[in-house]
Structures are given as structure tokens and as C-alpha cells.
């Protein structure tokens, strides 16, 4: 089946630094990718929808200047958390729209100290 990878799987950083997370579709082209965030014991919340070659569409309440999304190719989307703070610590999951459903990456656990 289709596979989506994420890198890194885990990152610990100091407050104020920026962190980039990569999401790749490995065996299919994804014109649309999605970025989710999940806090402990909470549901996945869609942050933004990323379309190749165009600006991402952000969900209400998500700061586009803080969470920078780039979808420069059909197999790669990146999420950059700028000036990260402890409240940004969460599980970030990307998803790519494949031929028949959405495929999820394994997630990136971000801890901001």
C-alpha cells in the first residue's frame, strides 16, 4: 500500500528555535497533503491543507506565520514551527491524499523545552 514518511520522528528543541518537519509520499504523487496536530488524549486536529504549488489553507485559529507550510513538489511537504514555545509541544502528523484514501505518516513528536 501507499506509504508516507515523516522526518524527524522525534525532536527536542529549546524555546525560541524553529523546527522543520518533512512529509514525503514514497510511492505516489500527492497534490494535496494535510497537517494535523494531536495533544495527549485528544483528537487529531487539522491545522492546514497543503496543495502543491499553491499557498496552504489554514484552519481557523492556526497562525499561518507561525506554522509555515511549503509543498514544493508532488512528493514533499514541509511544516516549519517558527519560534517554538512549550505550548507547541505536540504530536504532528501529516497525511497525503492517495489514489483511494488518505495515508498518514508515522508522526513527529515535538518537545519544546
Interface residues toward another protein, by CB under 8 A: 32, 34, 36, 42-46, 49, 91, 93, 95, 97, 101-102, 104-107, 109
Residues ≥6 apart with Cβ < 8 Å to 61: none
Contact present, 94 and 77 (Cβ < 8 Å): yes
- The C-alpha atoms of residue 82 and residue 112 are separated, in whole angstroms, by 12
Work out how close the CB of 2 gets to another protein at its nearest, in angstroms, rounded to a whole number: 11
Work out how close the CB of 93 gets to another protein at its nearest, in angstroms, rounded to a whole number: 5
Q: Do β-strands 108-112 and 10-13 pair in parallel, antiparallel, or remain unpaired?
A: parallel
State which residue, 13 or 44, has the beta carbon closest to another protein. Answer: 44
CB atoms within 10 A of CB 74: 15
No. of H helices and E strands in the chain? Answer: 0, 11
Work out how close the CB of 14 gets to another protein at its nearest, in angstroms, rounded to a whole number: 23
State which residue, 78 or 95, has the beta carbon closest to another protein. Answer: 95
State which residue, 28 or 91, has the beta carbon closest to another protein. Answer: 91
State which residue, 51 or 82, has the beta carbon closest to another protein. Answer: 51
Amino acid at each position: 500500500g501507499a506509504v508516507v514518511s515523516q522526518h524527524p520522528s522525534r525532536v527536542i528543541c529549546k524555546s525560541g528555535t524553529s523546527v522543520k518537519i518533512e512529509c514525503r509520499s514514497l510511492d505516489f504523487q500527492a497534490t494535496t497533503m494535510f497537517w494535523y496536530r494531536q495533544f495527549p488524549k485528544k483528537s487529531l486536529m487539522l491545522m492546514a491543507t497543503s496543495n502543491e504549488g499553491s499557498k496552504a489553507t489554514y484552519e481557523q485559529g492556526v497562525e499561518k506565520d507561525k506554522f509555515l507550510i511549503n509543498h514544493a513538489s508532488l512528493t514533499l511537504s514541509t511544516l516549519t514551527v517558527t519560534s517554538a514555545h512549550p505550548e507547541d509541544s505536540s504530536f504532528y502528523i501529516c497525511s497525503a491524499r492517495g489514489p483511494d484514501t488518505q495515508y498518514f505518516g508515522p508522526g513527529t513528536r515535538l518537545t519544546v523545552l
